[in-house]
Chains A and B, each alone.
Chain A
Amino acid sequence: MAGGVKIRVENVSKIFGADPAAALARVWDGMGKTELLEATGHVLGLHEINLDIREGETFVIMGLSGSGKSTLIRHFNRLIEPTAGRILVDGENVLGLGPAALRAFRRHKASMVFQRFALLPHKTVLENVIYGLIIDGAPRQEARDRGMRQIELVGLAGFEGRYPGQLSGGMQQRVGLARALATDAEILLMDEAFSALDPLIRHDMQMQLRDIQSRLHKTIVFITHDLDEALLLGNHIAILKDGRLRQVGTGAGILMAPADDYVARFVRDVNRARTVTCGALAEPGPVFPSPQAASGASGWVIISDGSGGHGLMRAGGGVRNGEAQLEDAVTIEASANVEEAFGALARRDRPLVVMADGRPSGLLAWQSVLRALQRDGGRHPAPERDA
Chain B
Amino acid sequence: MASGFPELWDTRGFSRGLDAAFNGLVATWGETLEALFMPVLRLLGLMEKGLQALPWWLVALALAALAWHAARNWRTVAVVLALTLALGLIGVWDAAMATIALMLMATALSILAGIPIGVLMSRVDRLRVAALPVLDIMQTMPIFVYLIPFVMLFGPGKIPALLATIVFAIPPVIRLTDLGIRQVDPEIVEASRAFGASPGQQLWTVQVPLALPAIMAGVNQTTMMALSMVVIASMIGAGGLGYQVLQGIQRLEVSRGLLAGLGIVFLAIIFDRIAQSYGRRMQKSLKLES
Contact = CB atoms under 8 A, between A and B. Distances in A.
A297 interface: no
Nearest to A118: B191
A102 to B, nearest CB: 8
B290 A107 contact: no
A79 B287 CA distance: 28
A163 B210 CA distance: 14
Given A116-B187, A118-B188, A122-B209, A165 B193 contact: no
B196 A104 contact: yes
Contacts of A131: 192, 195, 205
Contacts of B185: 118
Nearest to B212: A122
Contacts of A107: 195-196
A285 interface: no
B187 A118 contact: yes
Nearest to A114: B191
B193 A79 contact: yes
How big is chain A's contact interface, by range? 20 to 34
B205 A121 contact: no
Interface in B167-215: 185, 187-188, 190-198, 201, 205-206, 209-210
A72 to B, nearest CB: 15
Interface string A86-117: 00000000000001000111111001101010
Contact of B289 (A104, A111, A121): A121
Interface in B20-76: none
Interface residues of B, number: 22
B130 interface: no
B288 A166 contact: yes
Secondary structure type dominating chain B contacts: helix
B190 A79 contact: yes
A132 interface: yes
Contact of A165 (B188, B195, B290): B290
A77 B188 contact: no
Interface in B276-290: 286-290
A197 to B, nearest CB: 19
B205 A135 contact: yes
Interface centre among A103, A105, A179 (most CB of B within 10 A): A103
Contacts of A164: 289-290
A99 B286 CA distance: 32
Contacts of B192: 120, 131, 135
Interface string A117-140: 011111000000001100110000
A21 B209 CA distance: 38
Candidate in A79, A99, A112, A118 with the most chain B CB atoms within 10 angstroms: A118
A150 to B, nearest CB: 14
Contacts of A132: 195-196
A121 B196 contact: no
B197 A135 contact: yes
B194 A120 contact: no
Contact of A121 (B190, B193, B198, B290): B290
A28 B185 CA distance: 35
A135 B286 contact: no
A29 B261 CA distance: 76
A80 B288 CA distance: 32
Given A122-B209, A122-B210, A79 B194 contact: yes
Given A118-B187, A118-B188, A135-B205, A106 B286 contact: no
B181 to A, nearest CB: 14
Contacts of B287: 165
Contact of A103 (B198, B209, B210): B198
Given A103-B196, A122-B289, 4 more contacts: A106-B193, A112-B191, A118-B185, A135-B196
9 contacts: A79-B194, A99-B198, A111-B194, A111-B195, A112-B195, A122-B286, A132-B196, A135-B201, A166-B288
